Amino acid sequence: MSITQPFVPGATRRKPAHMPRGQISKWSELKIWWREIDRVLIGLVLLLMTLGTIAVAAASPAGAARLSTSTTTLDPLYFFWRHLAWQALGLATLFGVSMLSRTNARRFSVLIAGVMLFFLFLVPFVGVEINGARRWISIGMQFQPSEFLKPAFAVAMAWIVSWRMRDPNLPVVGIATGLAGLVAFLLMLQPNLGGTILFGAVWFVLVLLSGTPVKRLGMVVGAGLALLTVTYFLYDNARHRIDAFFGGGTAYDQVDLASRTLTAGGWLGAGYGLGLRKMSLPEAQTDYIFSVIGEEFGLIACGVIVLIYLAIVARVLTRLVDEEDFFALLAGTGLITLLGGQAFINILVNLQLFPSKGMTLPLVSYGGSSTIAVCMLVGLIVAITRRNPFLKSRTKGLGEFLSFGQADAMSDHPRKASRETRP
């Protein structure tokens, strides 16, 4: 038996409850996503990936020639075609992750961090060794757990540090330091000094933003530097690279070869496919792709790449200036620290201003795990910095920390009631 509501003139009739609304709901969510995301950031990322595709095409013949044998000759564009496939998967990952809500992005990151930390425990025992380092796991497909752990670690660490807003007495700095120390220990078993430095940089930035006293932070940093000094004497590969860097190296060192290749093309480059020095570069399509860009497209093209990275970093930080959510502020800062830090370490290595670290140039270099992981990182940045453009923040976000200091921000923080007073 149904009850019929009386007709009211001028009233709007509602759709019956049994009518399907799936398509309308999904389309509405897509429109909301498109309105809230940072489209300028996505445009910069897509531009960088496009330039990276061209660069991989230029570097592919060098990599294919080094892997070819007397019985097997690889197609000169072998790495280019594979790079296109990895980029397709990476873009799917980027846009898929960017559609997550801020809460789901945090849950997704914590889950990925736990899974990759488990695989990181397994790497020293069952990992695949390549070029003297045991960093890969093979389970039907080969991947590098530390690459996927990077973005997940940044978000998970931001979540832990943000607990301090709920209860200032929680030992969040101790928990964060313990987690970072565990990851660093597992990475050095591979060994992976470059990755350890990146994870340490994320820890440092997030703990600094948490309002930790500078004196206490200085003690921890001092202990870290002491451990790094010990590593110099225990880690042969790092010691040789550091000695070669400070000693000037020889014409056959990787960093020296990269620097010579970078400057060989002058300001305008030798032209696509006309570079010769790239053929002697190890890992031209990955670690030293910036040098290939310099030889074939010129130093001006290298400058454009650097400017795009600077624009991406500045864009994210600008987005965070008015962020009212402490977790989002920390997570966004940690993620962009990873992206910018890895990019500029790679560039400095190619410029012979930093010892070789075996890091790819994010969004540009060829890679499977690295391409998908970096795209996941960018997707998390987009998801966490999503914002309704019609709502104005009543807090100063990152600007508050820069203007008033960390201690004041933690002791008297206006974010607690900001969501309740939002229009």
At residue 125, does pLDDT exceed 80?
yes
Question: Over pLDDT 90: what percentage of the chain?
Answer: 41
Q: Looking at per-residue confidence, does 136 or 235 come out higher? A: 136
State residue 422's pLDDT score.
41
Edge-first strand order for the sheet with 133-138 is 128-130, 133-138, 142-143
3-class DSSP string for the chain: CCCCCCCCCCCCCCCCCCCCCHHHHHHHHHHHHHHHCCHHHHHHHHHHHHHHHHHHHHHHHHHHHHHCCCCCCCCCCHHHHHHHHHHHHHHHHHHHHHCCCHHHHHHHHHHHHHHHHHHHHHHHHHCEEECCEEEEEECCCEECHHHHHHHHHHHHHHHHHHHHHCCCCCCHHHHHHHHHHHHHHHHHCCCCHHHHHHHHHHHHHHHHHCCCCHHHHHHHHHHHHHHHHHHHHHCHHHHHHHHHHHHCCCCCCHHHHHHHHHHHCCCCCCCCCCCCHHHHCCCCCCCCHHHHHHHHHCHHHHHHHHHHHHHHHHHHHHHHHCCCCHHHHHHHHHHHHHHHHHHHHHHHHHCCCCCCCCCCCCCCCCCCHHHHHHHHHHHHHHHHCCCCCCCCCCCCHHHHHHHHCHHHHHHCCHHHHCCCCCC
The rounded mean pLDDT for the chain is 81
At residue 247, does pLDDT exceed 70?
no
Which of 161, 89, 67, 144 shows the shortest CA–CA distance to 376? 89
Q: Rounded CA gap, 142 and 199, in Å?
A: 22
Q: Of 92-101, 263-272, 385-394, where does the model show the most confidence?
A: 92-101
Least confident stretch, 296-310, 353-367, 403-417 = 403-417
Q: Rounded CA gap, 220 and 174, in Å?
A: 10
pLDDT category, 400, cuts 50, 70, 90?
low
State residue 226's pLDDT score.
72
The pTM (predicted TM-score) of the whole model is 0.83
Least confident stretch, 8-17, 27-36, 65-74, 156-165 = 8-17
State residue 238's pLDDT score.
61
